[in-house]
Amino acid sequence: MSKKDRELENFVERRPIADAPGIQRVLRRLASEIVEKEDGVEDLVLVGIRTGGVHLADRMAKLIGEIEGQEVPQGQVDITLYRDDVLRGLPRPEIGPTSLPFRLSKKKVVLIDDVLYTGRTIRAALDAINDYGRPRRVRLAVLIDRGHRELPIQADYVGLRVDTEQNQSVKVELAERGMTDRIVLYELQAEEGEQS
């Protein structure tokens, strides 16, 4: 069970945001947007943020490969050690693998995550990538932008923009994690305490 799953124990389902075909359509659109704006796939690499962004990066790489007929290198970053609340907010001792199997210099990186919220995860991911090299540029693609930013960070490619409240949570459920593809809006049950 991931941290997000556990947090969801006190949440009730509010409404579905997208189903499987919906997710597929959004990803296809993002893939063509990326190919267009990045001028093809030369020097392009996709980096998924663990854990939510990694499967999306896989799917995106396939879709881009279909459009361009060329494989796009992929990597993943785990941001645990770069979190600004690593020592306070650590629920349990777990770190995932980081793997960037290519030289970053001159690369056009597209960072991929499932939900953009406070922006703190992206800040941490940028710091992590920086420790591996100096890419030509980094752009951000997210499936969902749910607002409530706490840092000056914006996405370059956005699948869906969803209006949310602070007491809500957006969850991207994917087949790769043993679920049916869908995006759901959850809400914290009233009697429970505040949730960050």
Partner 1 sequence: MAASTSEPRFNQRHLLDMSSLDAEEITTILDLADRFFEISERPIKKVPTLRGQTVVNLFMEPSTRTRISFEVAEKRLSADTINFSASTSSTKKGETLLDTVKNLEAMSPQILVMRHSEPGAAHFVAKRVNAAVVNAGDGAHAHPTQALLDCATIRKVKGKIKGLEIAIVGDIDHSRVARSDIIALRKLGANVRVAGPKTMIPPGLAELTGATVCHKLGEAVEGADVVMMLRIQAERQGGACLFPSTREYSRTFGLDSDVLSMSKDDAIVMHPGPMNRGVEITPEVADGPRSVILYQVTYGVAVRMAVLYLLAGKPPVE
What is the chain's alpha carbon radius of gyration, rounded to the nearest angstrom? 17
Q: Which amino acid is at 88?
A: R
How far apart are CB 115 and partner 1 at their closest, in Å?
A: 23
Whether 158 contacts 27, CB under 8 Å: no
Measured distance CA(34)–CA(28) in Å, rounded? 10
| Interacting residues with partner 1 (CB under 8 A) | 1, 78, 81-82, 86-88, 90, 92-98, 127, 130-133
In degrees, to the nearest 5, what angle opens at C-alpha 64 toward C-alphas 26 and 132? 105
| Least gap, CB of 145 to partner 1 (angstroms) | 27
123 Cβ contact list (under 8 Å, min separation 6): 84, 151, 153
